[in-house]
Amino acid sequence: MLRPKKVSLEGEKYLVEVQVQKRTATVQVDLATGEIKGFQIEESTESSGFAFSKRMLFPVVGVVAVIAVVVVLKLMGIF
């Protein structure tokens, strides 16, 4: 289950933090173009010891990207 945690504006990009299971994904979105410039996935401090499998990477990144785009579009008043 995904849970948005925080959205902030830093210079020319939005930083969107999303809770993904027991991990936090941070997505950097360009303010002008809405393009995703980068992302980072971190384990929470209360980790169960599971490694982030490569099989889960693509779906998680895809969902985080979609959420980031929707958040940016809503903030820009387009969506």
What's the pLDDT at 20? Answer: 81
- Residue 18's CB is within 10 A of a number of other CB atoms, namely 23
What's the pLDDT at 47? Answer: 46
What's the pLDDT at 22? Answer: 80
Q: Output 3 or 46, whichever has higher pLDDT.
A: 3
| Topology (CATH) of 2-76 | Nuclear Transport Factor 2; Chain: A, (3.10.450)
22, 2 Cβ separation under 8 angstroms: no
C-alpha span between 13 and 24 (Å, rounded): 18
14, 31 Cβ separation under 8 angstroms: yes
Q: Could you tell me the residue ranges of all domains in the chain?
A: 2-76
Q: Which residues contact 9 (CB under 8 A, 6 or more apart)?
A: 15, 31
Nearest alpha-carbon partner for 28 in 44, 42, 10, 43: 10
